[in-house]
Structure 1
Amino acid sequence: MLYSKVAAHEKRRLFREQLAATFGSGGPMRFPGAFNPLSARLIERKGFEGVYISGAVLAADLGLPDIGLTTLSEVAGRGEQIARITDLPAIIDADTGFGEPMNVARTIQELENAGLAGAHIEDQINPKRCGHLDGKAVVDEGTATKRIRAAADARRDDNFLIMARTDIRATADGPHGLDLAKDRAKALVDAGADAIFPEAMRSLEEFEAIRSAVDVPLLANMTEFGKSELFTTQQLADVGMNIVIWPVSMLRISMGATGRALDTLIEEGSLTSKLDEMQHRADLYDLIDYEDYNHFDTSVFNFTVEK
């Protein structure tokens, strides 16, 4: 009932233990993207290992493009709402850290306070762009490493995962772009990154090349309609990936279904034909522990009103 009974520091500790196990036979941890607290609870119920909170989804939820318009307070607030509802660890997209290195430091502490298990900071310039769009530009190595060093120095819980995302692969075609990504990943690890998020890798071989370059956990982004092929978790495990995210997938599926339902309502005047596609009320009530709330309410209000 209400929120997760697992304390944030315990979620982080368990997450780091499970993440370490992925270097053995544990396989990659699967983090579907949650677009609200209820979807996070469903992700947990279905047996996944974690929840991802996408900056693109947070922006879209506000009706905004993913170009750095969201604020730290908006991101931390929504992150807290999602993280507190599930026992799973939640990793959040912190864009470029919302400013200069001191702002990055504050960002990390706010996200710690919000109960997140980790965050990634990217090396794009401000204003940033969606990771799978053309025309991206990244900051120089010194600026990128200062962001990560500030993040690592600011955290108070050593188990809070500082992940560095690099978008540099997309700034150059061919092998040169991949070489830049490998060099940037090494520099970010040296600056204190616990894990690396190599954005917009174009093949399994490219993921494997990053794996050979650094000895920290790696995240693979399986977003649809982007620059990366959509590989299976097993394929990604085979090249050494430790976390896999599907950042916008659940929102895309939900919005696609909503659009089709609205079309049906226009065409047919009712949604009777869509009933078998809806989550049943009984399933919703089970997901939100409705019976536990009812039992609690009954146990508290156990008096009768005099007439």
Structure 2
Amino acid sequence: MTRKVEWSDSEGKKHIGFVVTSHSSKELIACETCGFTHIIPLPSMEQQKNLYEKQFYQEEKTDYLDQSLEDAEWSNLSFDLRLDRVAKLLNYQSTTRILDIGCGPGAFLNACKKRGWIGTGIEPSPLATAFCQGNGLNVRQGFVSETLDEDIGPFDVVHMSEVLEHVSDPLRILQTAHSIMVENGILAVSVPNDFNHFQRALVSEMNFKEWWVVPEHHVNYFSFESLEQLIAKAGFQVLERTTNFPMEFFLLMGQNYTLKPELGRQLHEWRKSFDMTLARAGRQTLNLLYDSLAKANLGRLAIAFAKKI
């Protein structure tokens, strides 16, 4: 029988919800307070700083920066597709100022730079920050709460790519973004689309474990709906949604990359080829495919575009 639990964070906020699953001594609850699934207990700011400033690239993702160079062409396409939408939604041609929160190795900022847009990044990892700065990008090291001051902003666009699943208070970050944006500015956010229909089918029909649940790194677990509700709660109007290639397709066809990292890299190359080939033939088809999947709440990422109101 499903249990309902209650847990209070360091600020006294009560998190109440039914337990969805348990992993590595952590429980995931469908939190009625927050409106999305997250682990309990939530990590402290000090724990998160230690992970992302001292461990993430140094110990757990040691090849991530090198892989970003291998993926540069595909990453530029993926982010350029987002920027196409942002440009359409902004609907003006003035110099565009854009902030990328959690910019990692800087792929999104590079795509902005190619358009002549003025990009600023915020990144907690000193290694990733140095990597970006070495490539001529304007990136500040630290967490959002530490790096924002009177000389930053306002921004026409704020972007976050796979950031909100990592932080203990995603609503606060979205509210901070709202506070440093121009009126009618555009927010672009992507998070993993977790507990989706493909994943549930793999668990129920093929006896997969819930491989996407990684409480050491992912604090929060979103669907399209819960992401969009959170964005609206922060003061935005959601305008569009899309997604990217569902890697679960490969799992459903018997290619179990969750047990074989080398297979995962090979299949990643295949999905890169899929995207780039279709894009060369015309981006409209690629957009139509991913928009259709997103409409059905499918796809590996939930990607949302919203306007500040």
- Higher relative helix content: 1
The answer to whether the superposition gives a TM-score over 0.5 is no
Which protein is bigger by CA-based radius of gyration? 1
- Higher relative strand content: 2
TM-score, length basis structure 2? 0.31
